[in-house]
Amino acid sequence: MATALSALRLDPQRIRTFGSKLRAWYRRNARDLPWRHTRDPYAILVSELMLQQTQVSRVLDYWTRFLTRFPTLHALADAKERQVLDAWAGLGYYARARNLHKLSRAVVREGPRAWGDDTGPLLPAEPAKLRRLPGIGAYTAGAVATFAFERRASLVDTNVARVLTRVFAPRLQPKRSRDQKRIWAIAEATLPRTGKATWTHNQALMELGALVCTARVKRCDACPVRMVCRSSDA
């Protein structure tokens, strides 16, 4: 990770300015989304899985209905797969629902032993342990660690990769595996010091990628980080 990062020669002052402008913008402009009001790891996990490949506006209804029907990991583990798929019907990418159901059964049956511990909460807070559970990739592990447990963990999805490369390293290509390591290194290097600030920082990165620095359009004139961005048109 250190090698990937040193090749990019990131300036610490630019990193600080980027983080403070980004988080200040988020506090004023963030959408009021229901999963941002909870720290329940199960509810966060459901939202993160639903949001993969699916627009926020579609997930809003599904998330609330799903949690009403299966309010806890135990309730989900007790359900039949057919019932879980029924609650997911219309969202698509049904492997997400099957994996979530498998995860609930593994965790409820084995408890913390599912990720290699003998004691602990129902879901682990560390990304490395979360990744041992069915259907949890690097992004989802970082998201649950940050958004549920307020851990200082990095996360990179398509939106975040786009923002970080445009700002810090326009030559990197998010689809190239060699560059993905570098993008994760940038995400790690730009994290704030505390877990609480990391919660805001990671939400803000995703929000900027969804609202301002999108795949279709760059709204550089309205962007809070344009003064440190290597791709700014403003």
Mention every residue, 6+ apart, whose C-beta is less than 8 A from residue 189.
5, 10, 15
Choices 19-27, 37-45, 128-136, 222-230; region in contact with ligand SF4 by CB under 6 A: 222-230
Question: Is residue 48 flagged as an active site residue?
Answer: yes
Of 82-90, 139-147, 153-161, 215-223, the segment contacting ligand SF4 by CB under 6 A is: 215-223
The CA-atom distances, in angstroms, between 68 and each of 13, 144, 169 are: 46, 20, 43
- Using only C-alpha atoms, the chain has a radius of gyration, in whole angstroms, of 18
- Judged by CB under 6 A, does residue 232 bind ligand SF4? yes
CB of 65 to ligand SF4, least distance (A): 34
Tell me which stretch binds ligand SF4 (CB under 6 A): 9-17, 85-93, 175-183, 211-219.
211-219
Binding span for ligand SF4 by CB under 6 A among 39-47, 57-65, 183-191, 219-227: 219-227
Smaller CB distance to ligand SF4: residue 155 or 229? 229
Q: In 3-state terms, what secondary structure has residue 123?
A: coil
- Per-residue x/- marks for ligand SF4, 134-163, CB under 6 A? -----------------------------x
Least separation in angstroms between CB 207 and ligand SF4 = 12
CB of 225 to ligand SF4, least distance (A): 5
3-state secondary structure of 150: coil
Residue 64, CA distances (Å) to 25, 88, 128, 234 in order: 27, 12, 28, 40
The single residue among 101, 166, 182, 201 that binds ligand SF4, judged by CB under 6 A, is 166
Nearest to 124 by CA among 145, 146, 154, 150: 145
Task: Check residue 231 for interaction with ligand SF4 (CB under 6 A).
Answer: yes
167 lines the binding site for ligand SF4 (CB under 6 A): yes
Q: How far is the CB of 84 from ligand SF4 (least distance, A)?
A: 38
Nearer to ligand SF4, 101 or 166 (CB): 166
**DSSP letter (8 states) at residue 122:** S
Question: Does 101 participate in binding ligand SF4 (rule CB under 6 A)?
Answer: no
Long-range contacts from 7-15, C-beta under 8 angstroms, 24+ separation:
7/182, 8/168, 8/169, 8/182, 8/185, 8/186, 10/168, 10/186, 10/189, 10/190, 14/168, 14/228, 15/189, 15/190
Q: What CA–CA distance (Å, rounded) separates 216 from 93?
A: 23
Which residues contribute to the site for ligand SF4 (CB under 6 A)?
A: 163, 166-167, 212-213, 218-220, 223, 225-226, 229, 231-232
